[in-house]
């Protein structure tokens, strides 16, 4: 690591990045999960329990139960409109920012329910990074300011710390070599692939433990996409990464675990090997072999 | 395998080609006429503006001089040397417009931010704010002058700078609100989402990210509003009274350029008229310079944001 881990924990503690809530009732009342037998029972990073999500009166997600392992990449695949994006937007409580959105259920992160009534959604978002489908760097800021935006606007004032973190994030995002001499150029002046890596660096600068990626390469050409896939390979050793993707081959390449969703329901979930080589449900098998979607 | 969708086989293609080729020459003629008409309209719009400018420059340039710019008004009819200048009016315009902007711009921007970011729904309060804003835009400036008289002048006890600035700020606020709201609405939502996903609170996103993106548009709104109020005469008649003295306090009368122009134009002397032309030219120049200076100050650091240029 380029900078001291101590710095990282200072940020986490000072800026309210630890979720410190009582354990929600639902953890106690929780039904024993009905998982397949070849599912690993290790300690999970994220556990989704009976999540039901609506947009107005239309129900988007139906009773989702899912456990995400730490330090691994999990892909969520499925045809358009099956609720993949809604699902990950619920993991950092972005979903409820849309008017008319409602979510019921528990999402446990490190044994705490982030939907508990006293949890501040803004603090949750600081601990979970998100990368969007279309790269969205802040247009009025330089490359450096873009990466530092989350830190500066959340109260970090130490200039040396910010500089260190920016450099480390850009290196983690495999963008440092390309921009190290042009940190003052506008963020939107980069190419599409570079902009997406800039957005990843911006999310990484907040030192998240979880990174949510919503179809990160669907707006990029194959070369830029492969760079990002390499990135995910490198990052997943330290972070928990959840990617939504339309591209099954990408899921097969990048993810350790895959979840297949259809029409708002979780159809099957398991290690990528098992899902692609030996799917248990017929729907999964049909989707994997391209019969629909 | 892919299902083959059978192509419809009809004569429609040939029919369309026939129709479209028949009207070809007529279409070209209509196209030419329409372009000519459009250009004629542009000229019709520019020519009056250009001729006004030319007229003002022609008549006013000769009157501009040190005396006009630095002397208080004197005895107009008694010859050039004693007729004084319009210096108190210049000072007055700068002070009154400056004070009105200091009141109107923050209120306008904050209201615009409220309408765009915090109240985009159809709640009762926000609908009311929008409605009243639109009504204010259309209020005749003379009525606003009367309001200024009835409130500030009566309260302070005399015609005053405060009353003038108050009335002008009422004219200014709806313009700034409307433009700020619309400029902020144009900023794409993806920027807001990026900010939220970093855990930045809403007011910080609005102030430090969105306003910077909307900077150019908001500035245009402010410049427009300032140009508008710098030339308003009716409210000033009823609130600042006009005087031949320089600024003394915020609660006493003051002079202003539009007022002075009006008074000079109503006098029968040639010197007065030429001073009036000079004052008119000066007013246009002052507004031009202040808008250039504002743009320069705000864009000092920035690179052009073409993607969001409003």
* Residues 6+ positions from A279 with CB-CB distance below 8 Å: A260, A268, A285, A288
Cα radius of gyration (chain B)? 27
- Cβ–Cβ below 8 Å for B200 and A123: no
- CATH for A5-29+42-288? 3.40.50.300
Asked if B88 and B254 touch (Cβ cutoff 8 Å), the reply is: yes
Confidence at residue B38, expressed as pLDDT on a 0 to 100 scale: 97
Contacts of B213 in chain A (CB under 8 A): 138-140
Touching check for B198 and chain A: CB below 8 Å? yes
> Please, which pLDDT band fits residue A87 given cuts at 50, 70 and 90?
very high
- The pLDDT score that the predictor gives to residue A38 is 26
pTM value? 0.79
Which residue, among B96, B138, B73, B102, has the nearest Cα to B231 in the 3D structure? B96
Tell me whether A64 touches chain B (CB under 8 Å).
Answer: no
Contact at 8 Å (CB) between B179 and A134?
no
The whole-number pLDDT of residue A12 equals 54
Q: How far is A203 from chain B (nearest CA, A)?
A: 7
Query: What pLDDT score does B229 carry?
Result: 92
Q: Which residues contact B201 (CB under 8 A, 6 or more apart)?
A: A122
Instruction: For residues A22-39, give the mean pLDDT.
Output: 29
C-alpha distance from A266 to closest chain B C-alpha (Å): 25
Cβ pair B198:A123 closer than 8 A: no
**B199 closest CB neighbour out of A97, A122, A199:** A122
Both tokens of B19, joined, read 């129709």
What's residue B304's pLDDT? 46
Question: What percentage of chain A exceeds 90 in pLDDT?
Answer: 45
How far apart are the CA of A122 and the nearest CA of chain B, in angstroms?
5
Q: What is the CATH number of domain B87-255+285-308?
A: 1.10.3720.10
Note whether A210 and A242 are within 8 A (CB): yes
Q: Give the least confident one: A18-22, A160-164, A285-289.
A: A18-22
Between B253 and A117, residue with greater pLDDT: B253
Contact: A94, B197; criterion CB under 8 Å: yes
- Rounded distance, CA B235 to CA B290, Å? 22
Contact A129 B201 (CB under 8 A): no
Q: Which of A239, A229, A233, A237 is nearest to A203 (CA)?
A: A239
What average pLDDT does the segment A216-243 reach?
Answer: 90
How confident is the model at residue B3, as a pLDDT? 81
Q: Please tell me the predicted confidence (pLDDT) of residue A28.
A: 29
Please answer yes or no on whether B209 and A94 come within 8 Å at the CB atom.
no
Please give, one letter per residue, the 3-state secondary structure of B174-188: HHHHHHHHHHHHHCC
| Binary contact (A139, B194; C-beta < 8 A) | no
pLDDT-wise least confident of A43-52, A177-186, A257-266 = A43-52
- pLDDT bucket at A106, cuts 50 / 70 / 90: confident
Q: Residue A157: what pLDDT?
A: 83
pLDDT for res B250: 87
A–B CB contacts, 8 A cutoff, strictly below: 77
- Among B190, B208, B302, whose Cβ lies nearest the Cβ of A153? B208
Asked if B303 lies within 8 A of A199 by C-beta distance, the reply is no
8 Å CB contact of B199 and A125: yes
Residue whose entry in the numeric block shows the structure tokens 């009105």? B100
Share of chain A above pLDDT 70, in %: 84
Answer yes or no: do A206 and B199 touch at CB < 8 A.
yes
For residue A11, the chain B residues in CB contact (below 8 A) are: none
Tell whether the model's pLDDT for residue A37 goes beyond 50.
no
Sign of torsion over alpha carbons B4, B8, B14, B15: negative
Spatial separation of the C-alpha atoms in residues A88 and A26, rounded to whole Å: 20
Cα end-to-end span (Å), chain B: 49
As a whole number of angstroms, the distance between CA A180 and CA A171 comes to 10
In order along chain B (310 residues), what is the average pLDDT of each group of 10 residues?
78 83 86 96 94 91 83 72 80 93 95 87 85 92 93 89 94 94 92 93 91 88 91 91 85 90 88 88 90 80 42
More confident residue, A100 or A264: A264
- Residue of A139, A149, A187, A291 for testing the chain B interface, max B β-carbons within 10 Å: A139
* A92: contact with B, CB 8 A cutoff: yes
Domain boundaries, chain A: 5-29+42-288
What's residue B68's pLDDT? 81
CA dist list (Å): B47 to B36, B50, B55, B221, B231:
16, 5, 12, 25, 21
**Domain assignments of chain B as residue spans, ordered by start:** 87-255+285-308
| Per-residue confidence (pLDDT) for residue B81, from 0 to 100 | 65
Closest-CA distance of chain B to residue A225, Å: 20
List the single residue in B193, B200, B213 with the smallest CB-CB distance to A150: B200
- Reported as a pLDDT band with limits 50, 70 and 90, residue A121 is confident
A155 in B contact zone (CB under 8 Å) = no
Residue A191: pLDDT over 70 = yes
Q: Is it the case that residue A195 has pLDDT exceeding 70?
A: yes
- The helix/strand/coil state of B2 is coil
């Amino acid at each position: 690591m380029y900078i001291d881990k101590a710095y990282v924990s200072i940020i986490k503690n000072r800026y309210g990045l630890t979720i410190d809530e009582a354990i929600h009732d639902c953890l106690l009342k929780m039904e024993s999960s009905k998982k397949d037998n070849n599912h690993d029972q290790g300690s999970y990073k994220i556990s989704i329990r009976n999540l039901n999500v609506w947009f107005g009166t239309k129900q988007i997600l139906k009773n989702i139960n899912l456990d995400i392992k730490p330090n691994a990449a999990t892909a969520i695949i499925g045809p358009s409109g099956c609720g993949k994006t809604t699902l990950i937007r619920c993991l950092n409580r972005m979903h409820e920012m849309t008017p008319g959105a409602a979510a019921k259920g528990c999402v446990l992160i490190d044994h705490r329910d982030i939907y508990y009534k006293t949890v501040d959604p803004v603090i949750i978002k600081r601990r979970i990074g998100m990368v969007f489908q279309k790269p969205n760097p802040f247009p009025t800021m330089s490359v450096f300011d873009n990466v530092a935006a989350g830190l500066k606007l959340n109260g970090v004032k130490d200039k040396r710390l910010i500089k260190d973190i920016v450099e480390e994030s850009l290196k983690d995002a495999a963008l440092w070599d390309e921009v190290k001499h042009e940190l003052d150029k506008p963020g939107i002046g980069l190419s599409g692939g570079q902009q997406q890596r800039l957005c990843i660096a911006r999310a990484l600068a907040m030192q998240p433990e979880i990174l949510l990626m919503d179809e990160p390469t669907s707006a990029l050409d194959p070369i830029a996409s492969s760079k990002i896939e390499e990135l995910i390979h490198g990052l997943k050793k330290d972070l928990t990464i959840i990617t939504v993707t339309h591209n099954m081959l990408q899921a097969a390449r990048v993810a350790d675990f895959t979840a297949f969703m259809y029409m708002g329901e979780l159809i099957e979930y398991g290690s990528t090997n098992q899902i692609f080589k030996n799917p248990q449900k017929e729907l999964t098998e049909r989707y994997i072999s391209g019969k629909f979607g | 395998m892919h299902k083959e969708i059978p192509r419809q086989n009809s004569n429609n293609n040939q029919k369309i080609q026939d129709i479209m080729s028949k009207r070809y020459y007529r279409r070209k003629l209509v196209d030419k006429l329409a372009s000519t008409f459009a250009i004629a309209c542009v000229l019709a719009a520019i020519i009056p503006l250009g001729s006004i400018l030319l007229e003002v420059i022609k008549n006013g340039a000769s009157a501009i001089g040190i005396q006009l710019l630095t002397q208080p008004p004197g005895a107009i009819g008694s010859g050039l040397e004693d007729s004084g200048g319009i210096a108190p009016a210049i000072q007055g315009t700068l002070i009154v417009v400056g004070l009105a902007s200091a009141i109107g711009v923050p209120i306008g921007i904050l209201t615009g931010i409220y309408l765009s970011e915090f109240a985009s729904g159809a709640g009762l309060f926000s609908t009311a704010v929008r409605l009243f804003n639109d009504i204010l835009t259309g209020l005749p400036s003379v009525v606003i002058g009367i309001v200024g008289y009835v409130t500030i002048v009566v309260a302070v006890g005399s015609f005053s700078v405060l009353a003038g600035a108050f009335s002008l700020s009422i004219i200014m606020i709806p313009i700034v609100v409307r433009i700020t709201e619309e400029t902020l609405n144009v900023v794409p939502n993806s920027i807001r989402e990026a900010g939220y996903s970093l855990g930045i609170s809403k007011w910080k996103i609005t102030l430090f990210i969105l306003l910077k993106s909307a900077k150019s548009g908001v500035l245009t709104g402010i410049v427009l509003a300032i140009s508008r109020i710098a030339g308003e005469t009716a409210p000033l008649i009823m609130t600042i009274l006009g005087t031949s003295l320089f600024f003394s306090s915020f609660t006493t009368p003051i002079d202003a350029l539009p007022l002075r122009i009006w008074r000079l134009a109503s006098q029968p002397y040639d010197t007065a008229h030429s001073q009036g032309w000079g004052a008119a030219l000066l007013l246009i120049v002052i507004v031009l310079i202040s808008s250039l200076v504002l743009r320069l100050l705000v864009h000092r650091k920035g690179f052009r944001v073409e993607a969001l240029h409003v």
